[in-house]
Amino acid sequence: MSSNQEEIPEIKKTESNSETWIIGKEFRFEASHQLPNHDGKCARLHGHSWRGVIYVSGNELVNSGGKQGMIMDYGDIKKHLKPLLYDYLDHYHLNETTGLVNPTSEAIAKWIYEQLENKIPGLVAVRIDETCTSKCIYSKGKSNFLIL
């Protein structure tokens, strides 16, 4: 190394600069709901073509086997999500099936998160799009990530 080149120190990996991956599994369902406390038209029974995303985060990839190079297989997320779609969400009235009195996008995102949090390791957030312009992301104390 010449005398006018500065030596670059080695950066040791710490929690603050370690790698993180966030994956998302999209899902869709058709459902009705009613917001009884709303001061506008949403107090009436109506429906949406809902879209959601389950976000999972991890700092390590599987290093062998059929899931090598993944933090989690998208199929494993789908396996846990499928019963919620079939038994509670798709083509149902959300006030009845979820037990939510006021099933706002915020309440539905939290409800889905709570149904999955003990089944999907690394779950960081659930996003619910009520319409193409109205969205909500719910996370339980995990705000150190960026989701666009």
- Which residues have a catalytic role annotated? 42, 91, 130
Q: What are the b/e assignments for 6-23, b being 16+ CB within 10 Å?
A: eeeeeeeeeeeeeeeeeb
Distance CA 74, CA 67 (A): 10
- Which residues does 48 contact at the CB level (< 8 Å), separation at least 6? 30, 31, 32, 33, 130, 131
Q: What type of residue is 130?
A: E
Distance CA 29, CA 124 (A): 21
Distance CA 36, CA 101 (A): 8
Quick one: tokens of 85? 């779609």
